[in-house]
Structure formats: C-alpha cells, structure tokens
Amino acid sequence: MARDLTFAVADLHGRFDLLAKALEAIGAYAGADDKTRVVFLGDYIDRGPESLQILQRLRAGPPAGVIWTCLKGNHEDMMAQAARDPSLMPWWIRNGGDATLASYQGTGISPGGDLAWIENLPFLYVDQHRVFVHAGVDPALPLAAQNEKVLMTKRYASGFPDGHGHRHVVHGHSPHEEGPPLYPGRTALDTLAWRTGRLVVAVFDNEVQGGPVDLIEVR
C-alpha cells in the first residue's frame, strides 16, 4: 500500500558524507509507490568541511518522483548578511564561516549562485499536521505573523512540550547530542551531527497527526 511520507533532515553543517548517507537511507526506506517529500531544516553550511558540496547537491534537486523543500537556517542567513555587508564577515567567520570559505578554495566556483539560492529560501513549510522550521515558532502568533529572526534563532525552554495550535513543530537548531528529544507537540532534530557524526532523520506519515512514526539514524 502506498504511503504519503515526509522525511525531515536537520543541521548538516558541512557534513556532506552524512547528507549522502541520509539520501541513500531515505531512498531505501521509501517504496517506489510512496509519495515522498524531504524537508531540509537549514544550517547546511559552516563548521563541517564540505559546505559547498552540500549546497551544490541541494541546488541540483531531488531524484525523479521525490519533492525537496529546503528551509533557511541562521547560518545561511549569516553568510548572506556577510556577503551584503563585508563588515559582518568576521562575525560570520567566528561562527563557522571559515570552514565554508575553505570549501570553495581551489574549486573555481563562485559563491554567487549559492548566495542567490540562499536568499530565496523559505522559512517555513506547513502541511495539514505539522510545521517545519529551522529553530522554532512563537506559539502565541499566527504562522503568517511570525518573526523571521525567531524562526531562525528561537531556543525552546528545556522540555517545552507544545507545538503550534494543532500542528506538531519539527525543528533543528538547538543541539541535543543524545537526542532527538520527542515531545507531544514538537520534535527537535539537531544531534550536533557535524561533530558527533550522527544524524537522525525523522519520518512522518502525512495521514497521521503528531510526531514521527520512525527515525532513521546514519553515521
């Protein structure tokens, strides 16, 4: 029986090896008849060694029959801000931008195309049952009234269980090395993969409310 599935991938931070393994695992998990979407939750760049390779792979797009949605994280926003205002370059570099710049060295590839792609990334993906976002949402505000900075930088209080209204919130940004922690209203997927080498992909059945129906771990 065909399934309607969404996979969520958080905070790759330059670990192209983990992206490649995650895509392979997702391809093995989803059947040929399944409807498949992958939502990438942002922070593709900085800290790890292969930011350029991740951006190029995501820009190349999904295999046939699969839909990809790429959201903007705060590290993509930092790169874009530093490109617009060179006085911000030291700030970005201190936050891992040095690794991103190093990934371009010797390739002959200009970051211009990647920056244009980053500038146009959405902050949210919303379906019937869930909200996908890089960092979090303000539960007191309608989704249409959310502040972009909050969407990219919010930190939930430890153990905060709620989502947004009836929707489950799926996010990264806040690292939980032994995670991901799963709450009634939200799933937090940042497992500090760039340092731990452990990435956890959440699997959601789009016909079922709430949190993931499965987790896929890649190392």
Q: C-alpha 168: how far from its chain's center?
A: 16
The per-residue pLDDT for 115 is: 98
The per-residue pLDDT for 153 is: 98
CA atoms of 175 and 192, how far apart (whole Å) = 5
The per-residue pLDDT for 1 is: 84
CA atoms of 11 and 190, how far apart (whole Å) = 6
Instruction: Output the tens digit of pLDDT for each of the chain's 219 residues.
Output: 899 999 999 999 999 999 999 999 999 999 999 999 999 999 999 999 999 999 999 999 999 999 999 999 999 999 999 999 999 999 999 999 999 999 999 999 999 999 999 999 999 999 999 999 999 999 999 999 999 999 999 999 999 999 999 999 999 999 999 999 999 999 999 999 999 999 999 999 999 999 999 999 999
Q: Which sign does the torsion angle of CA 162, 164, 168, 174 carry? A: negative
Cβ atoms within 10 Å of 113's Cβ, excluding its own:
12
Return the exposure string of 196-213: e unless at least 16 CB atoms fall within 10 Å of the residue's CB, then b.
Answer: eeebbbbbbeeeeebbbe
- Is the CATH code 3.40.50.1000 the one for domain 4-218? no
Q: What is the DSSP letter of 191?
A: -
The per-residue pLDDT for 42 is: 98
The per-residue pLDDT for 110 is: 94
The per-residue pLDDT for 214 is: 98
- pTM for the model stands at 0.97
Tell me the CA end-to-end span of the chain in Å, nearest whole number. 30
Domain boundaries, the chain: 4-218
Pairing of strands 124-126, 199-205: unpaired
Phi, psi at residue 18, to the nearest 5°? -75, -35
Q: What share of the chain is helix, strand, coil (3-state, %, to 5)?
A: 35, 20, 45
Nearest to 15, CA basis, from 55, 61, 66, 67: 55
